[in-house]
Amino acid sequence: MKFPAIVKKQNERMIAYPRNTEEVSNIVKFSNKNAHKFDVPGAETFFQLQNRALAAIRDIYFKHAGQLVALVSHGALIKTVLAHIEGRHMAQLWTPPQMHNCAHSIVCVDAEDNYRILQYADQPYDQ
């Protein structure tokens, strides 16, 4: 399997320029093992995604302090938030527990940016 036809290394990050659907598939496989190195022109890195998600959560918290709020998003965004809370490096983003489609996670957050995971991908969180 060739990954991808055009790959450039820049500051220890891999930048991919896919030319067809097979190369896109290979990029996805690569990102699943190397989230911390994923960088495709025009796309967010997982670090940027995580920063955007955490900023949105802070903004929502302050606009709705004291209220119960449900946030719905795609798995990659949710995984980056959960990884932040757990203190995981982005290189371990896709390590278990695995999230299936429509998995339900519950996180509590307070004004000091303290997060607590109550449920992770439909399972009680006991760490």
E strand or H helix at 76: helix 75-86
Question: Which domains occur in the chain, in start order?
Answer: 7-39 (no CATH), 49-124 (3.40.50.1240)
- Give pLDDT tens digits for 80-94: 999 999 999 999 998
Please, what is the average pLDDT of the chain? 81
Instruction: Report angle CA 37, 40, 44 to the nearest 5 degrees.
Output: 85
Alpha-carbon separation of residue 24 from 13, 70, 101, 102 (angstroms)? 17, 32, 21, 24
Q: Across-strand partners of 115? A: 109
DSSP per residue, 1-41? ----SSEEEETTEEEE---SHHHHHHHHHHHHH-GGGEE-T
pLDDT for 9 equals 53
pLDDT for 82 equals 94
Closest residue by Cα to residue 82 from 98, 101, 66, 63: 98
Share of the chain above pLDDT 90, in %: 34
Q: What is the mean pLDDT of residues 103-114?
A: 88
Q: Are strands 13-16 and 38-39 parallel, antiparallel or unpaired?
A: parallel
